[in-house]
Amino acid sequence: MKHIFNKGTNEQLPVLLLLHGTGGDERDLLPHAAMIAPEASVLSVKGNVNENGMARFFARLREGVFDEEDLIFRTTELNAFLDDSAREYCFDRSNIVALGYSNGANIAASLMYHHEHALKGGILFHAMVPRRGVSIPDLSDSPVFIGAGKKDPLIPMEETSELIRDLREAKSHVTEYWTDGGHELRREEVDAAAEWFKSNFPKDKR
């Protein structure tokens, strides 16, 4: 998968896995990572799916309706890529926190739904429920921050609330942050995520 790896100054911190939204690329979330965890290493990935010239992490049948078969395949593909990247760049595979927006947040959630210990935690901006009717692994050691807009035209509040319930039922400690905005990623969400990261992954922790 096309990607960027930038080694951080504090290798004790989790590696931030950056996952862009539809139409983005591996450079999109680098400024946000610098705001949230400037000392952390970063692995920023570009989605392998092309939808009318726009990069995505998995296919969809139409707006808001995922191609579940492709979602499962791409989630497994991404999980294997993380295994390979940990070996290539010599970082701790068990210490990765996803930072995803929209489509990227959805595949990050899918990693947590389908693969035990795939992520140490997640920052999910404007995410949806990736799949229903599946048994989610124990996420008691994987805290999650969810940023959402109360007026998001693509993701109803009920959808976000269902995602939060799913994660909490899987024992994840979920922090939710709601803005009065829509589907756009707001600075206040990023600032709140930065505080969440500092609280959950203190830089002096050994």
Contact 121, 201 (CB under 8 A): yes
Residue 72 clears pLDDT 90, i.e. is over it = yes
Q: What is the pTM of this model?
A: 0.94
Three-state DSSP class for residue 6: strand
pLDDT of residue 67: 86
pLDDT of residue 205: 52
The mean pLDDT of 86-108, rounded to a whole number, is: 97
Length of the chain equals 206
Per-residue pLDDT tens digits for 123-159:
999 999 999 999 999 999 999 999 999 999 999 999 9
Element (H, E) at 100: strand 96-101
End-to-end CA distance of the chain: 31
Domains in the chain (CATH in brackets) are: 3-200 (3.40.50.1820)
| pLDDT band at residue 204 under the 50/70/90 scheme | low
Annotated catalytic residues are 102, 152, 183
